Amino acid sequence: MTKRPLDILDQVLNRQPVIVSLKGGREICGVLQGYDVHMNLVLDRAEEKEGETTRGIGTLIVRGDNVIYISPSREDTAKE
Amino acid sequence: MTKRPLDILDQVLNRQPVIVSLKGGREICGVLQGYDVHMNLVLDRAEEKEGETTRGIGTLIVRGDNVIYISPSREDTAKE
Amino acid sequence: MTKRPLDILDQVLNRQPVIVSLKGGREICGVLQGYDVHMNLVLDRAEEKEGETTRGIGTLIVRGDNVIYISPSREDTAKE
Amino acid sequence: MTKRPLDILDQVLNRQPVIVSLKGGREICGVLQGYDVHMNLVLDRAEEKEGETTRGIGTLIVRGDNVIYISPSREDTAKE
Amino acid sequence: MTKRPLDILDQVLNRQPVIVSLKGGREICGVLQGYDVHMNLVLDRAEEKEGETTRGIGTLIVRGDNVIYISPSREDTAKE
Amino acid sequence: MTKRPLDILDQVLNRQPVIVSLKGGREICGVLQGYDVHMNLVLDRAEEKEGETTRGIGTLIVRGDNVIYISPSREDTAKE
Amino acid sequence: MTKRPLDILDQVLNRQPVIVSLKGGREICGVLQGYDVHMNLVLDRAEEKEGETTRGIGTLIVRGDNVIYISPSREDTAKE
């Protein structure tokens, strides 16, 4: 049972927010409304995190070549 | 109801200004007059922000590979 | 007996966790659930390591151009 | 009324100087004499600015992948 | 008698370990088990060197765009 | 009267030296003997400048992706 | 009499050593035994220079995207 990377994105369209980690240390959280083969993304109700600051950005088109990973369901439980 | 990233751009052509975040920390705001598949953009009445300084640049052709994201409607409400 | 790089990935699908070394010094460990020709990866039960900190991230789609290497079976025995 | 990014360049061929912002902080000003689909540019009577210094460079072929943006008509009115 | 770069790799498949120099200063040594046109590599019994530290990594798939060079037979005799 | 960027190069083949500005701050001066669509260049009687130092390099094949611009006729008159 | 960049390489196959300047400041010297359209190179009796240190590396496959330039005949006469 293999999953194609882009098929996973289909499963989270218009669902719970996804976390998108971008090159350069930025992280954006939002509801995935669309994507294409380049991993260009449409995010709704997006929020951008840089260090401790979060700011709302509404709708967003992210150019795919900036993406490091997309996490549909991050638990975010820090262990040391 | 999936939205293709480039279709979103159609909806904001010649409307309210969009914010374009560029690699290297620059941000440009302007009215989107055109685009192509590479995310090359034409912006009118553009303004460039670097840190605290804003300067008007009139019309602008942005090469798509510099784009991080395009925000058609940024609320920009900083939370901490 | 030659092995094609992507064929190796087939052998570890849904098996023991793989270690993925990313550009910029990050390392992600998780069960490989899928991949494509660009080395885009789906990782399940993923954990991200940066220096001494590990955090769980659940499922993850990694964009292939960030990958340095994928290690299906790292012994990780440091010699000096 | 949509404008394609490269069509805009047609309108300024052999007209007033354009400003070309390059990756790495350089800026070149010159009369656009030609371009191609990669945004390779031919600039005539070009001048290069780095910080406070301007130097004349005559004719110039710029490789397109260095371009951040091209401004056919920059007002350059700094606000603070 | 011209040699195509990838043909050389055929000659060292499953032979003595090769040294792979990666962007960012890493060096990996291992037995080449496979490769493709992108220079994606499969290395077995791999060891990674960073400065003075060597660690075993077992089998490894290296994404080709990280490769600087591959040395099938390095003498490694430092002259000054 | 539009000029295609690569056509300009035809006009300076085997003529006066051109100046080639490379990514990373290097500058090479030489007689253009050939080029291809990638802007790979053949320069003869080439000289490399880094800061204040100039050294002769004879013939040179430059890989096109390093090129920022090519100047067939630089006046090089510094204004302040 | 135009010369295509890759044709020049044919003329130095299995002849005097060429100097290959790589991104990141490395320089490799060796006898060119082969190449392909990506400028992937096979170098024999190669030596790597970093600053003042030279070390022999035997045979080498260099991935083309690391190449800045190839010099079949460098005079290397430093002027100041």
- The 10s digit of each residue's pLDDT in B16-60 is 999 999 998 899 999 999 999 999 999 999 999 877 888 898 999
E strand residue ranges, chain D:
18-22, 27-35, 41-50, 53-62, 67-71, 78-79
Q: Which residues pair with residue C53 across a beta bridge? A: C50
Q: E20 near E42, Cβ under 8 Å? A: no
Q: Which residues pair with residue C49 across a beta bridge? A: C27, C54
CB of C71 within 8 Å of a chain E CB? The answer is yes
Give the pLDDT of residue D66: 98
Chains in touch with D (3+ beta-carbon pairs under 8 Å) read B, F
The alpha-carbon gap from B19 to the nearest alpha carbon of chain A, in Å, equals: 10
**C8-46 pLDDT, tens per residue?**
899 899 999 999 999 988 999 999 999 999 999 999 999
Q: Do F42 and G72 touch (CB under 8 A)?
A: no
Q: B67 near A21, Cβ under 8 Å? A: no
Written as one letter, the residue type at C78 is A
Give residue limits of the domains in chain G.
5-71
The alpha-carbon gap from C53 to the nearest alpha carbon of chain A, in Å, equals: 5
Residues F46-77 as b/e (b if ≥16 CB within 10 A, e otherwise) read bbbeeeeeebebbbbbbbbbbbbbbbbebeee
Q: A50 near A4, Cβ under 8 Å? A: no
Q: What is the mean pLDDT of chain B?
A: 87
- Cα separation, C33 vs A52, in Å, equals 33
**C37-69 pLDDT, tens per residue?**
999 999 999 999 877 888 898 999 999 999 999
Q: Do G34 and E71 touch (CB under 8 A)?
A: no
Contacts of B1 in chain A (CB under 8 A): 14
The alpha-carbon gap from F5 to the nearest alpha carbon of chain D, in Å, equals: 5
Contacts of A65 in chain C (CB under 8 A): 65
Count of alpha carbons within 13 Å of G12, Cβ hemisphere only?
26
Give the pLDDT of residue F14: 93
CA dist A9 → A16, B7, E17 (Å): 12, 18, 40
Q: Do D8 and B65 touch (CB under 8 A)?
A: no
Residue of A46, A55, A65 lying closest to B77 (CB–CB):
A55
Q: Of F80 and A4, which is predicted with more confidence?
A: A4
Give the pLDDT of residue C51: 75
Structural Rg of chain E based on CA atoms: 13
Residue A79, pLDDT above cutoff 70: no
Residue of A13, A34, A58 lying closest to B73 (CB–CB):
A58
Give the pLDDT of residue D76: 44
Q: Compute mean pLDDT per 10 residues along chain E, 80 residues long, and list them.
A: 83 93 93 95 92 88 97 56
Give the pLDDT of residue G80: 41
Q: Do B80 and A34 touch (CB under 8 A)?
A: no
Q: Which residues pair with residue A19 across a beta bridge? A: A29, A71
Q: Which CATH number fits domain D5-70: 3.40.50.1100, 3.40.50.2300, 2.30.30.100, 3.40.309.10?
A: 2.30.30.100
* Tokens 């094609």, located at residue: C4
User: Could you tell me which chain G residue has the CA closest to the CA of E4?
Assistant: G34
Chains in touch with F (3+ beta-carbon pairs under 8 Å) read D, G
**A18-31 pLDDT, tens per residue?**
999 999 889 999 99
CB of E35 within 8 Å of a chain C CB? The answer is yes
The alpha-carbon gap from C56 to the nearest alpha carbon of chain E, in Å, equals: 23
Nearest to D69 by CA among F1, G45, B47: B47
Give the pLDDT of residue A76: 44
What is the topology classification, in CATH, of domain G5-71? SH3 type barrels. (2.30.30)
Nearest to A41 by CA among D6, B79, B62, B67: B67
Output the DSSP codes for A14-69: TSS-EEEEETTS-EEEEEEEEE-TT--EEEEEEEEEETTEEEEEEEEEE-GGGEEE
Contacts of G71 in chain F (CB under 8 A): 46, 57-61
Q: Is the Cα dihedral D5, D7, D8, D13 positive or negative?
A: positive
**A28-78 pLDDT, tens per residue?**
999 999 999 999 999 999 999 877 888 898 999 999 999 999 998 644 444
Give the pLDDT of residue B1: 54
- Cα separation, A77 vs C78, in Å, equals 28
Give the pLDDT of residue C15: 92
Low-confidence ranges of chain D (pLDDT < 70): 1, 73-80
Residue B75, pLDDT above cutoff 90: no
Task: Say yes or no: ipTM exceeds 0.90.
Answer: no
- Cα separation, F32 vs F42, in Å, equals 6
Give the percent of chain B with pLDDT over 70: 89
Give the pLDDT of residue C4: 87
Give the pLDDT of residue C52: 82
Q: Do A79 and C36 touch (CB under 8 A)?
A: no
- Cα separation, E56 vs E49, in Å, equals 9
DSSP state of D25: S
Total-model pTM: 0.88
CB of G39 within 8 Å of a chain E CB? The answer is no
The alpha-carbon gap from A67 to the nearest alpha carbon of chain B, in Å, equals: 9
Reading the block at residue E27, the tokens are 């060096």
E strand residue ranges, B1-80:
18-22, 27-35, 41-50, 53-62, 67-71, 78-79
Q: B9 near A63, Cβ under 8 Å? A: no
Q: How many residues does chain F have?
A: 80
Q: Do B22 and D68 touch (CB under 8 A)?
A: yes
Low-confidence ranges of chain G (pLDDT < 70): 1, 73-80
* Tokens 């509801």, located at residue: A31
